Structure 1
Amino acid sequence: MNKNNTTALETAIFANGCFWCTEAVFQRLNGVQEVISGYTGGHIKNPPYREVCTGRTGHAEGILITFDPNLISYTELLEVFFATHDPTTLNRQGNDVGTQYRSEIFYTTDEQRKQAEAFIALLTEQKVFQNPIVTAVSEEKTFYKAEEDHQNYYNENASQPYCQVIINPKLKKLNTYFSDKLKSVTK
């Protein structure tokens, strides 16, 4: 391997509703190496799904994205983040209600914080959304990987009603507006 061709991978942590949905979206982007579903932003260690669902742990369902910044930028990830969920509803995405479904960006570097805040300011200035954006921008918290049955969920359960009704429209939107950012072959 030529050391000059190695790229330092970066990470991004997003919470924007059910992690099954967000995982399916970001897995399809060129430059994204891995997407892990999990929990972040809470106040107990190693929270189980059943506890996160109650909203009492303070965690959000989130995804940890490992990406190659030479193939997809953090700003491009932000574009997809804001285009594939409603950042104007507090603690809610569609029928999923509770703090665990909040819209939040957990920055891993000060540069990510600046980019996220600038992107939200731009969307607000351009009045992209009818209602105010409620997405929080917070410093990275411990990210806990969710149980194995939550990993790669859509790819292994695409025929399930939830996937067809909730996730398929997000993927259609992704294919329509971000076709130039998609991997050439998706699962």
Structure 2
Amino acid sequence: MNADNREIVFNGLVYDIEQMLVEIGSHGSHTFQIIRHPGGAGVLPVHADGSVSLIRQLRPAVDTVLLEIPAGRLGPGEPPHHCAGRELREETGMRAGQLVPLGMIHSSPGVFDEIVHLYAATGISQGEAEPEDDEDIEVVRMPFSEALAMAAEGRISDAKTIVTLFRWDQRCKTQTT
């Protein structure tokens, strides 16, 4: 990729928008706008009995309440596993004995450069949640099989949550075979 004329056209609270002219092979130059995001981490709390906890919260961008894994934005220089543990504590009050890496995803690579690092949390202990002022979060505990079915049936629509559930399911299956 050959990109010229990079310019930040918007500086926001969470992201910036960069505009650039990109040479696309023999198709010539085309203007692209990319949302620059610091990335984030999401974590699936897995309890000793195999059940999982998801959070229900309002997502104004899609004007609905979604069921999803606890997740948040990386702080400057913050390692993804620290972010995952911090978000787990803030949003649910839970602490992880272990964070199991489940890879990463590009959330929407057509417009975002955001990378979300995914984890499962095991060895859960419960404390007090400390949500941010703009968060109204309900923790929902359910059997893992129910969460997986909800993802497969489209009743969970959050991409990071769907991927995390399916990756945890695959990891569990490969460890038992």
TM bucket, shorter chain: under 0.3
- Taking structure 1 as the reference length, the TM-score comes to 0.25
- Taking structure 2 as the reference length, the TM-score comes to 0.26
More helix by percentage: 1
More strand by percentage: 2
The structure with the largest alpha-carbon Rg is 2
